[in-house]
Amino acid sequence: MIERKDLLARFAAYSPHVDPLPLELAWDFAEKAHSHQARASGDRYITHCAAVADSLVEWRMDLPSVCAGLLHDTIEDTPTTEAQLRAEFGEEIAMLVMGVTKIDALKFESRDDAQAENWRKMLLATAKDIRVIVVKLADRLHNMKTLNFLAPEKQQRIAAETMALYSPLAHRLGMFKLKSELEDLSFAYLHPAEHADIKAKVGARLTESEKKLAQARTEIERVLADSEIPCRILSRTKTLWSIYKKMERQKKPFEEIQDGLGVRLITDTVANCYALLGIVHTHFKPVAGTFTDYISTPKLNLYRSLHTTIVGSAGDVVEIQIRTEEMHRSSEYGIAAHWRYKTGEQAKDVHLEEKMNWLRQWMEWLQDLNSPREFLDSLKTDLEFHQVFVFTPAGEVKVLPEGATPLDFAYAVHTQVGEACVGAVVNNKMVKLDHPLKSGDICRIVTRKGSAPKKDWLNLARTARARSKIRHWLRERGLVE
């Protein structure tokens, strides 16, 4: 367990001008509030609160977030009231704690209803302040790390929820390190035999992989030595879950999965990223079709980096990512990396609000879904990060989840286009409205004046936006509840 003085020291290391007193008070308050409670492991409850706060410190979150991490279970699991918390720590910290506090499950007829309403509540709070979900993700991470102390039925349920909702949400927020950790932790409980098998095989292959990786790094260091460009080289390994998914996708056993060695080049400026790319491509043979520029065209979840694949002198394939220190931190911690601290006051990345608009808009669409099961299904669909890029005839691209249909595309273009839709032409061929779209498709929506949405469209559309718009139109005319 991290000690109080260590947590304070780690926070002070990146926030030297922030008064740590609220953090000390929050620790004392949480320790006292949970003094009669223990974790399933037998540890004092404060160990969980401290672990959550420690993750938030690792992600360099601000003072209110770290305080909320220490206090996140006080209202849910102790006699502490919201009014008490507000009086002790102020409106901001109390709001964050309330955002991650679950609603009493006894109010609902089923676990699904309770789960859906808890997610709806948390996401509404997150739409107002992104720190709510960051605190919740830190909470879930420690719960997954200590899942072995729970009964098998609970392990399965919590791991399944983590894989279906928390990990994709971490991905959507650009928190790749956390996403991978949650996936591997869930994998161990959802597919224990496969997890153990792949873990053992990766371990057996480790010596050979490390030898090849060391050789690749030495070769890259040698060609960069004369450039005088500041650069540090990191190696990266594939996660167990990603290996398992690749085996499934390619329908191959572990022994036939040939993954390139992974290397990251971290430098100081964008200009030097491109300079390093030029040097690498000059001295090594690039693999055709592998270069992607996520610096000039970032991913929707803030990710920026240059990707390329080269062939080393021994014939080994080496996957290379080139980025600045800031991009690297953003790729590891995502949205959490976009909080900055200036003389004790929180100042957000100037583009943060714009980047989070998807969440607010998404919540507006989800508000129209009355059924808890439909809410959760729509949530899982829209968190799915396997996306397709579909073009309008004018060349405008629409990003949709994998499996999206022309109806989803029509509503992505404009609500009026969706409502007047009578058919779709994909790549010059007429298709049904439930036709799954693929990346690169050119889709033209056929409309007819006076046409209107049909009730069965709710079974054809996959995105929350399309389903929300269809339901809204039908409800206004009394065709659905």
Report the C-alpha gap between 410 and 414 in whole angstroms: 6
For 233-291, what is each residue's pLDDT tens digit? 998 778 899 889 989 988 889 888 766 578 999 999 999 999 999 999 999 999 998 89
- For residue 104, the 8-state DSSP code is P
Calpha distance 97→124 (Å, rounded): 14
Query: Quick check: is 6 catalytic?
Result: no
106: pLDDT strictly greater than 60? no
Task: Encode pLDDT of 408-417 as tens digits.
Answer: 999 999 999 9
The region that residue 26 occupies, defined by phi over 0 for left and psi between -120 and 50 for alpha, beta otherwise, is alpha
CB 84 within 8 A of CB 344: no
What is the pairing mode between strands 345-348 and 317-324? unpaired
Count of CA atoms in the C-beta half-sphere (13 A) of 384: 18
Marked catalytic residue, from 24, 31, 58, 77 = 77
Mean pLDDT calculated for residue range 36-61: 95
pLDDT tens column, 369-386: 666 667 777 777 767 657
419 is catalytic: no
Cβ count near 190 (within 10 Å) = 17
Residue 341 to residue 346: CA distance in whole angstroms: 5
Select which of 24, 31, 76, 197 is catalytic: 76
**What number is the average pLDDT over the span 442-471?**
91
The residues, any chain, with a CB within 8 Å of residue 285's CB and separated by 6 or more, are 310, 311
Strands 429-431 and 285-286: unpaired
Band the pLDDT of 349: cuts 50, 70, 90: low
**Is the pLDDT reported for residue 102 higher than 90?**
no
Q: Give the domains, in start order, of the chain with CATH numbers.
A: 4-149 (1.10.3210.10), 200-334 (3.30.460.10), 357-476 (3.10.20.30)
First and final C-alpha spacing in the chain: 51
